[in-house]
Structure 1
Amino acid sequence: MTASIGPGALNMVTAAGLATVNRLPVLLLPGDTYATRRQGPVLQQIEDPSAPDITANDAFRPVSRFFDRITRPEQLLTALPQAFRVLANPVETGAVVIALPQDIQSHAHDYPVEFFEPHDWKIRRPQPEAEDVRTVAEILRSAKKPLIIAGGGVVYSGATAELEALANATGIPVAETFGGKGAIQNPGPWHVWGIGLEGSPETNRLVEQADVILHVGTRLTDFATASQSLFHNPNVRFVSLNVSEFDGVKQGAATIVADAKVGLAALTAEVSGYRVPAEWTAEIAERQSRWVAMRAAAIDPDVLFPKTAEHDPDGTDAIITQGQMLGVMQEHARDGDILIAGAGGPPGDVQKVWDATNGRFAHLEFGFSCMGYELPAAIGVRFAEPDPAHRVMTFIGDGTFLMAPTELVTAAQEGLPLTIVISENHGYQVIRRLQMWRVGHHYGNEFRYRDPAKNVVNQVESNNSAGRLEGGYLDVDLVAVARGLGAHALRVRTADEFRTALNDTRDNAGPVVIVVATIPHANLPASGVWWDVAPAEVSDQPWLTAVREDYAAGIANQRWHG
């Protein structure tokens, strides 16, 4: 990816952070200011009086895994091999940035012809140490209530079959993180869905009891661990399998530093003959039965949701919830279809209720949770999966769509068959929900007009006090916006209308946008775990005092595990 200097380069910094956090290999080539400097400060250049060598591109340094600035053309001889080494390394990979000053871009150099010979960079699978495997296996064998947390490393490694083999052999339950969504494709009774803040409440009750936890290919962020409050067993021990030792040793785990695919195979062989106790198997089955029923009720699109003023204070024309919308999408999904989500409410809802098994994949960017990732991601997924029989669907809210809709033009330009499903719930409802939970009121999260009696024009009449954003919802025609950017677009209200829209547009040759009216404040079942988002420590508001007490109770469950 290339960019000009200044704002062009800075526009890629967020993408670099996303790639680095999610261990995605990306090569960025931002332009840079003149190395010779004889031109003086040039257009779009940032000057630092104390450090003339600093440019806007230095902002890439903390968010990239490799950064170099080429000030002589021959420097490419050493920079490029190192750049590609990082791109192909599963431990180090992320954003690789090579800044190219504008004048140096035009320079010639007598490069050795060997430099241009094709070179295959091998993506290695580090092998496990036998002693590490024995140590982890011994701890697992001692467990009465073991549990596996599967992260994105399982997916990156292509280790699904090996993880399923371990679970089938032992009966150890497997919970998935956001990155690990879809790590299980052929589920057994041990598949217990998502973990943590947006996971299944019944799964979280299992995690609270676990005495040995094996985490595989995960960074263990606060959403997975409930801010380190999820592991209640006072004697819980952790073991891990990770290609990165940095992540493997988290929670004080006894670690197998290896590729997930080969590491899981070795571990399965070492624990041969072990099965979880019958009591644990029975509890897993009972809790999964409860969750299956709870999930089915939450996403059933044919049950009339009892909409109240609490769920829809403005009385919109929406009659289905976002969960029911996902229920229709789940019905429609076929083997090979891919669902993408990245920011706001969609990734949490997908993590909670989407069945990503049997080839109905989910791609969730919840490492950086970057608004605006979803449409470019859909384009990338479509290029990687060109078979039109496999539908590529992006699920976003209206807030994310309005922030970054322009890649629809690219999709239309390339004639890419993509489906963008927009939940029209009139704002950033997941942030509103968080503010209500931790502050007791919300601010600026919904697309509302200001109080018409106190808008900016009338401030003089209202003692310069602008009204709050408490008017009606904005009248935004998302269908017209999408059509104007080259997509086939339509709006639906009912489950049947949505079903028809999905079926009728499945074979569309270009991008399709389906706007689904959803009830603004209707949520899926809560996960039943705590999250470390601190309310004000001191307040004269009774509500905040109560919230602070709840927060203090959560802190009491936080533990340091090593």
Structure 2
Amino acid sequence: MKKIKLTVAQALIKFLDNQYVEVDGQEIKFVEGIFGIFGHGNVLGLGQALEQDSGQLIVRQGRNEQGMAHAAIGFAKQKLRQQIYACTSSVGPGAANMITAAATATANRIPLLLLPGDVFATRQPDPVLQQIEQPTDLSLSTNDAFKVVSKYWDRVSRPEQLMSACVNAMRVLTDPAETGAVTIALPQDVQGESFEYPDYFFQKRVYRIERTAPTPLMIKDALKLLSGKRKPLIICGGGVKYSSAANILCKFAEKFGIPFGETQAGKGAIVSSHSLNVGGIGETGCLAANTLAKEADLIIGVGTRYTDFTTASKWIFKNPDVNYLNINVSRFDALKLDGVDIVADAKTALEALFNALSDSNYQADWNGKIEQARADYTKEVERVYSVEYNEKDFVPEIADHIDRKAVFSEFIKLTGSCLTQSRALGIINNTLKDTDIIVGASGSLPGDLQRVWQCKGTHTYHLEYGYSCMGYEVNASLGVKIAEPEKEVYTLVGDGAYMMLHSELVTSIQEGKKINVLLFDNMTNGCINNLELEHGMDSFGTEFRFRNKKTNKLDGGFVPVDFAMNAASYGCKTYTVTNADELKAALIDAQKQKVSTLIDIKVLPKTMIHKYFSWWRVGVAQVSTSERINEVARCLNENIEKARQY
């Protein structure tokens, strides 16, 4: 055994540069690089190590710690969890900024390695700059907050601890069932301490992403359940993408005549035009999938964790005889809804189930309802994509108890635009190429996209909806572009989410990684404004309005923002559009640009797309002075009685 004397930081970088995964016989370098913002807590440790010898790791400079971590998530998600970027920050606010990203990664089951600096292990200079210093426990630092949102957490307080910390970090990062955020806190003095590491710590390590096969008893239980069902419905979840199971899912659906709906993570695994693809399902589901959902007598969940949006708070599957067959690599998810569980890789499980079911001559019997549902859905998509404002008798898609004429008039006068959101989406959907990738996460846009967006190519739909993190959109798009540099990447983001965080738009300029930001500006946090109005409230704290000196409330005029000017200051090519022709022209011109672009699309409030046969449980006041709210509470309680309880 040979020993190599290195600092902790140098050893960490050398270790990360030698990690690989093997997927179906293909070997892939697991850590492509590191996003970093350097401060006093990491620049002389990890920074020095990277400057001295970064190996094959690519070092990229972030602008905001949360933003760069979101870029890393976007990269790993688009790479189907087979490659990652690590992220490093200084201790204190830099580290705290990454906590939101850690939660986003863990909620979405995306591998994310975080390497925040930490306070001195020796405690000699305490309290150092940015140290919280808890009087009740001097071992605590900002980094302890990561424990709640990490799948693995460690603090390297001695040089030799680095070895077990790194091995366990890789164990979690490469585990399809348990992956998420991994945090290794690095005290700034320990980063620079030296140790004689054994050479075998730096050997090339290859982690096989194994395809766990279902047991014969699992398949037997599934066949028994299927035998008595004639209206099964598949839910295509994110696990279908990560296990590359789209082809076998298509084959399975076609062989047995079973339609499939899509979650946000699963949408785009299979093109929307497939004859059995009935689109998004659940609270933000579309007309076709939600029509069939209420009749289905068996739900076959493939790689889904059954969020409340997928099941409409466990309300949407109304057949009294409905049962669940759950195919998931995670036992935690496979046991949900009292389903018959197949704890296995999605591709392997579907192949085994296909072979076993073929021997039984099984065939679903939807009696023409799949074709009818898809035909009705196609007409509905065409309708909402063509909705135009008519001043005289316009009825918005989102109905509420407030007279919208005054709001529309005010908005049009201020912006000169009467473009509807659904019309804008139709133009974008029809203009983008089959290979173009769209990215989204929050607000009303994810709902609209799951309901009507037509995926013309596979893996072109990148939505983060496990955490629905405002600020993910622009920053993750950079990661997607790094993952697929040959493709055009489009961010679909609301004005509220853009203002919350778009830091890595600057990094996209720096790196020469072009992204296209399609910003929907309706001067409102429209999604939550819809929610409060739908549940009996008046508009409160969700529209972007000036404070009214007469009322001392935020009920003055709209606050106008020139988002194009903002992006232009970074070096982006920008456009402001107020009608369909301008939007089409901007999209065509943006495709020709070599730098990142931003199209500021002024869209009328309340012109997003309404829900289809769904219900979502939210917290509602059970007692109120408003009769409207009291009525909503009564309705809520009635629907809870109709929903499955767990």
* TM-score normalised by the chain length of structure 1: 0.94
Change (3 A) 1:358 1:137: farther
Q: Find 1:172's aligned residue among 250, 255, 258.
A: 258
Change (3 A) 1:410 1:545: same
- Equivalent position of 1:398 in the other structure: 495
SS in 1 for 2:115: strand
Change (3 A) 1:425 1:275: farther
In the TM superposition, what is the alpha-carbon distance from 1:137 to its structure 2 partner? 2.4
Mean CA deviation greater in 196-205 or 91-100: 196-205
1:372 aligns with 2:501: no
Q: Find 1:2's aligned residue among 88, 93, 97.
A: 88
1:419 aligns with 2:503: no
Q: Find 1:431's aligned residue among 528, 536, 541.
A: 528
Q: Find 1:77's aligned residue among 128, 150, 163.
A: 163
Change (3 A) 1:183 1:360: closer
In the TM superposition, what is the alpha-carbon distance from 1:208 to its structure 2 partner? 1.4
The C-alpha deviation readout for 1:253-285, integer Å capped at 9, x for no partner, is 11111111111111111111545444x141222
Mean CA deviation greater in 177-186 or 222-231: 177-186
Matches of 2:388 and 2:535, distance apart in 1:
33
- Equivalent position of 1:543 in the other structure: 628
Percent same amino acid at aligned positions?
39
Q: Find 1:314's aligned residue among 382, 385, 410.
A: 410
Contact in 1 for aligned 2:305/2:333 (Cα 8 Å): yes
Change (3 A) 1:223 1:307: same
The C-alpha deviation readout for 1:268-324, integer Å capped at 9, x for no partner, is 11111545444x141222222111111110012678696466262524222221111
1:188 aligns with 2:274: yes
The C-alpha deviation readout for 1:535-562, integer Å capped at 9, x for no partner, is 211123211121112212211211136x
Matches of 1:396 and 1:72, distance apart in 2:
44
Q: Find 1:326's aligned residue among 425, 432, 435.
A: 425
Contact in 2 for aligned 1:538/1:545 (Cα 8 Å): yes
1:531 aligns with 2:616: yes
Mean CA deviation greater in 203-212 or 29-38: 203-212
Q: Find 2:537's aligned residue among 420, 437, 440.
A: 440
- Equivalent position of 1:199 in the other structure: 285
In the TM superposition, what is the alpha-carbon distance from 1:340 to its structure 2 partner? 0.4
SS in 2 for 1:340: strand
The Cα RMSD (Å) is 1.7
Matches of 1:322 and 1:80, distance apart in 2:
47
- Whichever residue aligns with residue 470 of structure 1, its letter is D
1:240 aligns with 2:326: yes
SS in 1 for 2:600: strand
Q: Find 2:554's aligned residue among 459, 463, 469.
A: 469
Q: How does 1:448-487 map to 2 (within 5 A)?
A: 448-451=545-548, 453-454=549-550, 467-487=552-572
Contact in 2 for aligned 1:192/1:203 (Cα 8 Å): yes
SS in 2 for 1:314: helix
Mean CA deviation greater in 243-252 or 408-417: 408-417
SS in 2 for 1:120: strand
Change (3 A) 1:483 1:228: same
In the TM superposition, what is the alpha-carbon distance from 1:56 to its structure 2 partner? 0.9
1:26 aligns with 2:112: yes
Q: Find 1:358's aligned residue among 453, 457, 461.
A: 457
Contact in 1 for aligned 2:269/2:459 (Cα 8 Å): no
The C-alpha deviation readout for 1:98-143, integer Å capped at 9, x for no partner, is 0000110110000011211221222221111122112212312321
> How many residues of Structure 1 are paired with residues of Structure 2 in the alignment?
546
- Whichever residue aligns with residue 314 of structure 1, its letter is E
Change (3 A) 1:274 1:469: farther
- Whichever residue aligns with residue 418 of structure 1, its letter is I
Contact in 1 for aligned 2:279/2:288 (Cα 8 Å): no
Matches of 1:138 and 1:368, distance apart in 2:
36
- Equivalent position of 1:457 in the other structure: none
The C-alpha deviation readout for 1:377-413, integer Å capped at 9, x for no partner, is 11111111011xx211000011111111222111111
In the TM superposition, what is the alpha-carbon distance from 1:26 to its structure 2 partner? 0.9
Contact in 2 for aligned 1:168/1:188 (Cα 8 Å): no
Mean CA deviation greater in 281-290 or 247-256: 281-290
Q: Find 2:381's aligned residue among 255, 274, 295.
A: 295
Matches of 1:302 and 1:473, distance apart in 2:
22
In the TM superposition, what is the alpha-carbon distance from 1:351 to its structure 2 partner? 0.8
In the TM superposition, what is the alpha-carbon distance from 1:21 to its structure 2 partner? 0.8
SS in 2 for 1:491: strand
SS in 2 for 1:427: coil
* TM-score normalised by the chain length of structure 2: 0.82
Mean CA deviation greater in 298-307 or 329-338: 298-307
Mean CA deviation greater in 304-313 or 350-359: 304-313
- Equivalent position of 2:584 in the other structure: 499
- Equivalent position of 1:88 in the other structure: 174
